[in-house]
C-alpha cells in the first residue's frame, strides 16, 4: 500500500513529537512493505511567522490531496496578541471544518502500568480502563447561530441538529462499537432539550441497523457523575459536540497524563486527521522531555481508521505497551524505580519494539 501523509508539525513541542511519530510510521511501513510519503506544511504560529496567516490556503490544499493528516499542536504565548480571527488555534478549526471532519474519536485508555497516575481509587479502576468517546464535531451549539442584543444585555447561542447530522455520527459510533464489544451509551439532555429528543429518537432508529450492538441513553449530568463513579460501565460514548468536548476532557483525566491520549477526526470516507489531544506545551518545548506517546498512538489510529491496517495498528499499540512494561517513562509519567527517558529516548524504545 502507498500512504500519502500531510504533516503539520505546528508549534512548541509539535515538531519534536511529530518527528518520533514519523519514525514509528516509517518502521511499520518498512516491516510491512508499504511505501509512505510525507508533505510537510505550515499551520499555527509557525505559519503566522512565515506567511502572515495561521492557515495558509496551500496547507488546506495539500491536506485535501493526502490520505491522512498528522498534526502536532499549534499555539503559544508568542502569538497571544495576534488578532483573534488569525490566532494559531483558528487553524485547527479551519482544518476541521475545511476538511469536513464531523466525527471526533477520543479513546481514553488507562494502561495498567500507569495506574498510580490515575486520580480514581484502585478498586474503581481495577485492571485499567478503555473508553472510546465519539463526539460530533461540526454541529450543535458551537456552530449554531449566535449573537447579542444591541444594548449588550442579552446574548444567545443556538443549539441545532438535523436528523442526517445525528444519523451519520451515530453510524460511526455503532461501527466502532462493532469492533469493540458492541456497547454504545448515547449521552444527551432529552429531559430538557429538543435537540436531544431528536438525538435520542434518531440514535434509536439507527440502532435498528446494528442488531449486534446495544444502546443505552444517559443524561449528560448523570453521565459525568457515572464516569468517575463506575467508568467500567462505558465502552463507546456517543454524544454531541459540546457534551463531547466536556466529557472527553473528563474521561482523559482518569488516564493520568495528557501526554498519553491520541485522537482521530474523521468523515464518511477513509480520510482523517490524527493528533494528540494536548496542546503545544510551550513550557517544555525544545527540552526533549515531551511525551510522544499520544502522537505515536495517533499513528496507530491512522493505520486503523484511514488505511484499515489493523495488524499494523496493533503492532504500534503493542510496542507502546511493551515500552511501558519495560519501564520506560518520560517525566510526565515517571515514578520511582522506572527508566527516565526524553522524547527521543521514548521514540527509540517504541521503535525498537515494533
From the annotation, which residues make up the binding site for NAD(+)? Answer: 76-89, 279-291
DSSP alpha helices (H): ranges in the chain? 14-31, 45-51, 57-65, 88-98, 122-125, 163-178, 194-207, 220-229, 241-253, 293-305, 310-325, 343-352
The yes or no reply on residue 290 touching ligand NAI (CB under 6 A) is yes
Active site residue 249: yes
Copy the grid coordinates of residue 204.
Answer: 434509536
Give the residue, chosen from 56, 139, 262, 279, that forms a contact with ligand NAI under the rule CB under 6 A: 279
Residue burial 285-297, b: 16+ Cβ < 10 Å; e: rest:
beeebbbbbbbbb
Smaller CB distance to Mg ion: residue 294 or 324? 294
Considering only 19, 93, 242, 258, the residue that binds ligand NAI (CB under 6 A) is 258
Annotation says 49 is catalytic: no
In terms of CB distance, is 142 or 219 closer to ligand NAI? 142
Annotation: binding site: 76-89, 96, 106, 135, 221, 245, 249, 279-291
Cα 325 to Cα 173: distance, rounded to the nearest angstrom? 31
Q: Which of Mg ion, ligand NAI, none sits in contact with 299, Cβ below 5 to 8 A by type?
A: none
221 belongs to the catalytic site = yes
**Total residues in contact with ligand NAI, by rule CB under 6 A:** 22
Of residues 295, 319, 236, the one with CA closest to residue 21? 295
Whether the CB-CB separation of 174 and 184 falls below 8 Å is answered with yes
Is 11 in the active site? no
Residue 130 appears among annotated catalytic residues: no
Out of Mg ion, ligand NAI, none, what residue 73 binds, judged by CB under 5 to 8 A for its kind, is ligand NAI
- Contact residues toward Mg ion (CB under 5 A) are 245
How far apart CA 196 and CA 186 sit, in angstroms, is: 10
| One residue of 236, 251, 281, 309 binding ligand NAI per CB under 6 A | 281
Q: Name the residue among 237, 273, 275 with its Cα closest to residue 134.
A: 237
Which of 262, 302, 347 is CA-nearest to residue 5? 302
Q: Select the binding partner of residue 354 from ligand NAI, Mg ion, none (C-beta < 5 to 8 A, by kind).
A: none
Q: Which of 259, 262, 272, 345 binds ligand NAI (CB under 6 A)?
A: 259
* Catalytic residue ranges: 142, 189, 221, 245, 249
Residue ranges in contact with ligand NAI by CB under 6 A: 13, 17, 73-76, 89, 92, 258-259, 275, 278-284, 290-291, 294, 332
Amino acid at each position: 500500500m502507498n500512504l500519502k501523509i500531510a504533516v503539520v508539525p505546528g508549534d512548541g513541542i509539535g515538531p519534536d513529537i511529530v518527528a518520533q511519530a514519523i519514525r514509528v510510521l516509517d518502521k511499520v511501513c518498512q516491516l510491512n512493505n508499504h511505501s509512505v510519503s510525507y508533505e510537510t506544511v505550515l499551520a499555527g504560529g509557525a505559519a503566522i511567522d512565515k506567511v502572515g496567516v495561521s492557515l495558509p490556503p496551500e496547507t488546506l490544499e495539500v491536506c485535501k490531496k493526502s490520505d491522512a493528516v498528522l498534526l502536532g499542536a499549534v499555539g503559544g504565548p508568542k502569538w497571544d496578541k495576534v488578532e483573534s480571527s488569525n490566532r494559531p488555534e483558528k487553524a485547527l478549526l479551519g482544518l476541521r471544518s475545511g476538511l469536513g471532519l464531523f466525527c471526533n474519536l477520543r479513546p481514553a485508555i488507562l494502561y495498567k502500568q500507569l495506574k498510580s497516575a490515575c486520580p480514581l481509587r484502585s478498586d474503581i479502576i481495577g485492571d485499567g480502563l478503555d473508553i472510546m468517546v465519539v463526539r460530533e464535531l461540526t454541529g450543535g451549539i458551537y456552530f449554531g447561530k449566535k449573537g447579542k442584543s444591541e444594548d449588550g444585555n442579552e446574548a444567545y447561542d443556538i443549539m441545532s441538529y438535523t436528523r442526517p447530522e445525528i444519523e451519520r455520527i451515530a453510524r460511526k459510533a455503532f461501527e466502532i462499537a462493532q469492533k469493540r464489544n458492541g456497547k454504545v451509551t448515547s449521552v444527551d439532555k432529552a429531559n430538557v432539550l429538543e435537540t436531544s429528543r431528536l438525538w435520542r429518537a434518531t440514535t434509536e432508529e439507527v440502532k435498528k441497523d446494528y442488531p449486534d450492538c446495544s444502546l443505552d441513553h444517559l443524561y449528560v449530568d448523570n453521565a459525568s457523575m457515572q464516569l468517575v463513579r463506575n467508568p467500567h460501565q462505558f465502552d463507546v460514548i456517543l454524544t454531541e459536540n459540546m457534551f463531547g468536548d466536556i466529557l472527553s476532557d473528563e474521561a482523559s483525566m482518569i488516564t493520568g497524563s495528557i501526554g498519553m491520549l491520541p485522537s482521530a477526526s474523521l468523515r464518511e470516507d477513509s480520510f482523517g486527521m490524527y493528533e494528540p489531544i494536548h496542546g503545544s506545551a510551550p513550557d517544555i518545548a525544545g527540552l526533549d522531555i515531551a511525551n510522544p506517546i499520544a502522537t505515536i498512538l495517533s499513528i496507530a489510529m491512522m493505520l486503523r481508521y484511514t488505511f484499515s491496517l489493523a495488524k499494523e495498528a496493533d503492532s504500534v499499540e503493542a510496542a507502546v505497551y511493551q515500552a511501558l512494561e519495560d519501564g520506560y517513562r518520560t517525566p510526565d509519567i515517571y515514578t520511582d524505580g522506572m527508566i527516565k527517558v526524553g522524547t527521543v529516548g521514548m521514540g527509540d524504545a517504541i521503535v525498537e519494539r515494533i
